[in-house]
Amino acid sequence: MIAPENDDYEYGVVIDAGSSGSRIHVYRWVNPLSSTISEDQLHSVPAIEQSKDWTSKTNPGLSSFEDKPNKAFSHHIKPLLKFAQDIIPKNKIENTPIFIQATAGMRLLKEKKRKLILKNLCDGIKKSTKFFINDCDSQIEVIDGETEGLYGWLSLNYLADHFNNYHRSSSNHFTFGFMDMGGASAQIAFVPSNEEEVEKHREDIATVYLKSVNGDVQEWDIFVSTWLGFGANQARQRYWAQLVNALPENTNSYDDDDFSTRKLYDPCMPKGSKHEFKFKKMSFTAIGLGDFDQCTKSIYPLLLKNIPCKDKPCLFNGVHTPRIDFSKDKFVGVSEYWYVPNDIFKLGGAYDFEKFSENVKNFCNSDWKDLLENNKKGAYNSIPDDFLIDSCFKSNWILNVLHEGFEMPKSIGEAVPEEDHPTFQSLDRINDTELSWTLGRILLYASGQVVLGDKNVRVGVVPSKIEAKEFGKTFISGTVDPYGSSNSGIFGLSFKLLIPLFIIGTVVFHLSKSNKSKWRNLHISRFAAAIESFIRYVKRWRDSTTTVFEMLSEVEEGRFDRPSSEGGNSFRQPTSYPSRSKSMFDFNGHREGRPSTGESSAKRAHSERAGATRPVRGIKPAFSMADFNKLQDRGSHSGL
């Protein structure tokens, strides 16, 4: 559907470049300064709209161009942008930003190949389209699972209307916690309901800044963490390895590890089923036993609850987290939390442990031939056999992660009132809108377009001091840098400062032609001194731990809140340096949340956000929404 021309609307485009393909999303919202905005919308973030047919996908993934990066734009992205051009009014194209956010597949490529692909996309968009692409480093990038998770949290709570009617005078701002389980990783993102937990773990907390249409600042403290290797598919692979390594022949010190026993018995597969898999280049055959209770016991060690927790509390794998109060902190699960419960058991939506676990038990203990027959009749959405055979394991893994990993009580006690939210629910749509993290990215941008309110507050995500210090994570700006990437080092700022110097130099040059040698020598000398001073100034900034652009950001925000060491001098040094970076992703390594350090969070110094009374807050690791989505066109549930 082509959008009707209306000068009140602004548009934005986000491309989710995943491992199996790239999907484009076209969004629009009313300009925050428009006179058509009603009074009741002023205390809310800009209202984002998307028609059902404003999305399209192309296959395979962007990473498939690793050996032909010069074709990435023309063969992959260009057709998607043509799709967007047919929707957006022509007079709006030049002001419509493009965000290409690459995820799973691109993360695995070598840096050189990754950069070549991204550069080809940037060059292609600039040469072949009129879309607004001013800062390629922030608009065309590979994002980590943590950033993706933050966008997912934003998307969820936007669709649930939790950013509407925001009043700073109220401290009661409810939001949903976000849980995601993809193929490779599991993640969590939530605002702790207990303020004492927030203060106790201040250095582990991220802060998201949004602006309502009237300019009011919305400030959200979020804890985010990820567990790489704990997604459904990776957990399955670790489980296979556990079965093989548990064989007596592989625990005998005299054994040559020839894996002569190639037949294994798996309680997490239906009775009578068989599955072949490879381990260390050896082929094995697993035979299903169909034993729910034994499956649950066999899966538990995969959570690695035995890893020491040096900075309590921890959940699993030794990852430190604030304490979760499940009586107040309510969660929504996506991806695998939705697929198996919905496809197999028709139990998507509000979670009931007794009902879900009983269905899983009956399924796991069933004969394989009976399950196949039921699937042919449409009982399980007619999913492929290889998905069906994994469903017992995945269902059990979900139960283990929720109750043993995240320690969610199996019963809260009293029944949940109808007007309250369930402790946990699985969804893939809200109010008939897809729950996609791409909406969160465009929400940041739309909110960043609000010009009213405190000019010292920038819409975006401020990382925690721990993440900034240990992993180099930096500020994610909601807006697009009008001067280009901060990665250009001092060039952007130097260029702007050199313009007036060039003008002055030109004037001095012409004046130097004057016959008044005394006047000429005086001004040339002063100009040379100014140039020399400028060079020393830039060099001093360049050699410091912060870039010029970051220091400029501090000045723009008025963030000088660290008392000077020079006695009573009222000048304050900046406590943190958020820059407009490409993302919060560290390509030099992987991590599974922040391992506990042995130092209590409560003992760490608190940093403050200056120019206002708001403290500087931070970010924790996040997640990947459906890293390896296998199933498509499933049923959906939109309730909350």
For the stretch 66-75, contacts whose Cβ atoms lie closer than 8 Å and that sit 24 or more positions apart, written own/partner, are 66/109, 66/113, 66/117, 67/113, 69/113, 69/116, 69/117, 69/119, 69/120, 70/116, 70/120, 71/120, 72/117, 72/120, 72/121, 72/124, 73/120, 73/121, 73/123, 73/124, 73/125, 73/128, 74/124
Q: Please give the mean pLDDT across all residues of the chain.
A: 79
- When the candidates are 3.30.420.150, 2.60.120.10, 3.20.80.10, 3.40.47.10, the CATH number that belongs to 232-312+324-427 is 3.30.420.150
Residues constituting the chain: 640
The per-residue pLDDT for 79 is: 97
Token readout for 228 is 């790489």
The per-residue pLDDT for 413 is: 52
Asked if 49 contacts 28 with a C-beta cutoff of 8 angstroms, the reply is yes
Q: Where are the domains of the chain?
A: 1-142, 232-312+324-427
- When the candidates are 3.50.50.60, 3.90.1150.10, 3.30.420.40, 2.40.30.170, the CATH number that belongs to 1-142 is 3.30.420.40
Q: Which residues of the chain have pLDDT under 70?
A: 1-5, 169-171, 250-261, 412-419, 481-639
Q: What global pTM score does this model have? A: 0.74
Query: Binding site residues for ATP, as ranges?
Result: 183-187
Token readout for 203 is 């250095």
How many CB atoms are located within 10 Å of the residue 368 CB?
A: 18
Which residues are annotated as catalytic?
148
Q: What angle do CA 458, 461, 463 make, to 5 degrees?
A: 120
CA–CA separation, 626 and 182 (whole Å):
4
Asked if 456 contacts 612 with a C-beta cutoff of 8 angstroms, the reply is yes
The strand pair at 48-49 and 177-181 is best described as unpaired
CA–CA separation, 519 and 526 (whole Å):
11
The per-residue pLDDT for 300 is: 96
The per-residue pLDDT for 530 is: 59
Closest C-alpha among 87, 81, 80, 82 to residue 53: 87
Q: Is 180 helix (H, G, I), strand (E, B) or coil?
A: strand
The per-residue pLDDT for 509 is: 58
- The reply to whether omega before 615 is within 30° of 0 (cis) is no
Closest C-alpha among 536, 532, 530, 490 to residue 507: 530
1-142 matches 232-312+324-427 in fold? yes
Query: Binding site residues, as ranges?
Result: 183-187
CA–CA separation, 590 and 493 (whole Å):
33
Torsion of CA 354, 360, 361, 363, to 10 degrees: 140
The per-residue pLDDT for 27 is: 98
> In this predicted model, what pLDDT tens digit does every residue of 472-496 receive, in sequence order?
889 999 988 655 544 333 334 444 4
Hey, which residues does 180 pair with through a beta bridge?
187, 334
Closest C-alpha among 159, 172, 121 to residue 13: 121
Closest C-alpha among 193, 99, 56 to residue 477: 99
The per-residue pLDDT for 523 is: 54
